[in-house]
Amino acid sequence: MKATVPQEKLAHGLGLVSRAVSPRSTLPVLGNILIASDEGRLRLSATNLELGITCWIPARIEQNGSTTVPARTFGDLVSTLPADQVMLSLDTRTQTLNVRGGTSTNDIKCIDAQEFPPTPTVDLDGAMQFNVAEFREMIQQVAFAASTDEARPVLMGVLLQAEKNKLTLAAADGFRLSVRTAVLSTPAPTAINAIIPARSLMELARVAPDGDETLQMAIPKMRNQVVFRAKDVEVTSQLIDGTFPDYQQIIPRKHSTRTVVSTSALLKACKQAEIFAREGSNVARVNIKSASSDQPSELEISAMSEETGKNETIVEATVDGSGVLIAFNVKFLREALEVIKTPNVAIEMSAANSPGVLRPVGDEQFLHVIMPMHLG
pLDDT tens for 31-81 read 999 999 999 999 999 999 999 999 999 999 999 999 999 999 999 999 999
Residues 21 and 89 in one domain: yes
d(C-alpha 370, C-alpha 347), whole Å: 10
Closest CA to 273 of 326, 333, 348, 325: 333
Q: Is residue 225 part of a domain?
A: yes
Contacts for 84 with CB less than 8 Å, ≥ 6 apart: 6, 7, 101, 102
User: With contact defined as beta carbons under 8 Å apart, do 273 and 313 qualify?
Assistant: yes
Q: Is residue 376 part of a domain?
A: no
Contacts for 111 with CB less than 8 Å, ≥ 6 apart: 28, 29, 32, 67, 68, 95
> Is pLDDT larger for residue 211 or for residue 308?
308
Residue 209 scores a pLDDT above 90: no
Residues 258 and 362 in one domain: yes
Tell me the DSSP string of 245-313.
Answer: --GGGTS-S--SEEEEEEHHHHHHHHHHHHHHHTTTT-EEEEEEE---SSS--EEEEEEEETTTEEEEE
d(C-alpha 376, C-alpha 326), whole Å: 11
Residues 146 and 239 in one domain: yes
Secondary-structure breakdown of the chain: helix, strand, coil percentages, each rounded to the nearest 5: 25, 45, 35
Average pLDDT over residues 329-355: 97
Residues 314 and 228 in one domain: no
Q: What is the pTM of this model?
A: 0.93
d(C-alpha 143, C-alpha 136), whole Å: 10
Residues 94 and 143 in one domain: no
Q: Is residue 121 part of a domain?
A: no
User: With contact defined as beta carbons under 8 Å apart, do 119 and 36 qualify?
Assistant: no
d(C-alpha 266, C-alpha 273), whole Å: 10
Residues 232 and 261 in one domain: no
| Parent domain of 48 | 2-115
Q: Is residue 80 part of a domain?
A: yes
Q: Is residue 122 part of a domain?
A: no
Residues 273 and 219 in one domain: no
Report in angstroms the alpha-carbon separations of 341 from 14, 204, 271, 360.
32, 21, 17, 7
Residues 230 and 311 in one domain: no
What's the chain's length in residues?
Answer: 376
Tell me which amino acid residue 31 is: G
Query: What's the pLDDT score for residue 339?
Result: 98
pLDDT tens for 272-306 read 999 999 987 899 999 999 988 888 999 999 999 98
Contacts for 118 with CB less than 8 Å, ≥ 6 apart: none
Residues 99 and 136 in one domain: no
pLDDT tens for 116-168 read 998 877 888 778 999 999 999 999 999 999 999 999 999 999 999 999 999 99
Look at the chain and report how many structural domains it folds into: 3
pLDDT tens for 159-206 read 999 999 999 999 999 999 999 999 998 888 889 999 999 999 999 999
Query: What's the pLDDT score for residue 372?
Result: 97
Query: What's the pLDDT score for residue 237?
Result: 96
If you average pLDDT over every residue of the chain, what do you get?
95
Residue 87 scores a pLDDT above 90: yes
Residues 326 and 303 in one domain: yes
Residue 376 scores a pLDDT above 90: no
Residues 334 and 360 in one domain: yes
Q: Is residue 120 part of a domain?
A: no
Q: Is residue 123 part of a domain?
A: no
Q: Is residue 94 part of a domain?
A: yes
CATH number of the domain at 266, please.
3.10.150.10
Query: What's the pLDDT score for residue 154?
Result: 97
Query: What's the pLDDT score for residue 119?
Result: 80
- Show which of 115, 137, 171 is a domain's final residue: 115
Helices (H) and strands (E) counted in the chain, each on its own, are 6, 25
Average pLDDT over residues 84-105: 97
- Show which of 205, 226, 248 is a domain's final residue: 248
Residues 82 and 185 in one domain: no
Query: What's the pLDDT score for residue 220?
Result: 87
